[in-house]
Structure 1
Amino acid sequence: MSHERSVRWVSLGRMDYDEALAIQTRQAERLLQGEDEAQTVFAVEHPPTITVGRSGTFDHILAGRERLRDMGVEVREVDRGGDVTYHGPGQWVLYPVLHLAPWGNDIGRYVRMLEEVVIRALAEVGITGDRVKEYPGVWVGRDKVCAIGVRARRRTSGEFVTYHGLALNVNTNLAHFNLIVPCGIADRGVTSVQRLLGREQPFSEWEARLRAAFNAVFLEDGADVDVAADEAAEAR
């Protein structure tokens, strides 16, 4: 494996949305300024949080502020693409902070690769995930199991740097999606691995599964993604 395709995997555990956002945006700034070349994936689980993307609207949040406060759900406006989505316990969120020259500097290809990561991870347990052309993410039938929303900014060289990423519903409380119009799509549903398989999932196993799938998709020679176990404490 060439050096430019090495990727470090940083497990943040459960962390507030704002703290994880600060970690990934700091790393993105390092890449944009040429202070660092490290390709990094941050894996995290958030407490209940609704985020509104750049093409979103607060009209797609169906619950009032008092109800959200009583439920302990935070609301954040963020600079990723996409509309409204939900993060919460039982959901693995991956924030790949990458410079994209090793992958053709192609944002469309990058999004398809993220979808492929999830499709391969789901296939390991017998779930067939699909793409829907007009809606980024991964679907099972008419239900979304994984949301994708990314932000890309250019280095002075023209190379893209990515942040934000994907959110896979593993054991997520799907009732919380009733608080929003997920991704602004009113005529489709949301699902989870737990619902699809009919049983609660060993959550930590799904991080390992996603990591292996990320490796298979992004590192063509199949070498292991570098795991930086001590990076989490440093990143905090």
Structure 2
Amino acid sequence: MDAFIYTAMSGADQALVALNVRANNLANAQTSGFRADLISMQSKKVPGYGYDSRQDVQVDRMAVNAEPGRLTDTGRKLDVAIDGPGYLALDGPEGIVYTRAGSMVLESDGSLTLDSLPVMGEGGAITLPEHDQVMVGTDGTINVRPLGETELQTVGKLLLVNPDPADVTKDSHGFIVSITGSAYEVDDSVQVKGSHLEGSNVSAVDEMMQTMALTRSFEMQMRLYKTADELSEAGNRLIRA
């Protein structure tokens, strides 16, 4: 009987974990460049002597939905969207991290940041000189027209990467990182679209349907737990009789 209870409670616990993932996806349905989280679970035997019949549901891995979001024309010169697969690179506190969000900010010292992190170029963090105009090419090249000049000058090129979707996960801040912790090589095939932003790839309808299914699953597991408790009590009465 305790094996029955163990299975029911394990299933209910992981249903709650999955509900939290879905809730986070829904909360970011309007977040620019957000990639929906995917959760994979697997039933595993509980190790140890005497636990052969016990099963535990565990998170197998957390994955990232690689489907693209919709591109929106913002008209803002420092907005960029990845047109197809790929990521922008940022200089995080613990190493290079990656993102699909593209609303870059020009700081007072000329540095480009995104979500308060320096935007990385192929030669390091990108800094712009004082300028009248800025343009981002489809290959990530950043051109500016310096103050008092008439011609555009290239000041850097965005560090664009295209890792295998199966090799990426998210860190505690929601940025894309490598599962192995390594940095990705530059991929010249990645294209960007200036003055555009990519929307979240979360499907609110799908997330709501999955949330309802998980809620029903949790309720079923709790009913099983109650049934196991009733069966245990009935067995105890028979023993006492």
**Structure in which a larger fraction of residues adopt helix:** 1
TM-score (norm 2): 0.24
Larger radius of gyration: 2
TM-score (norm 1): 0.25
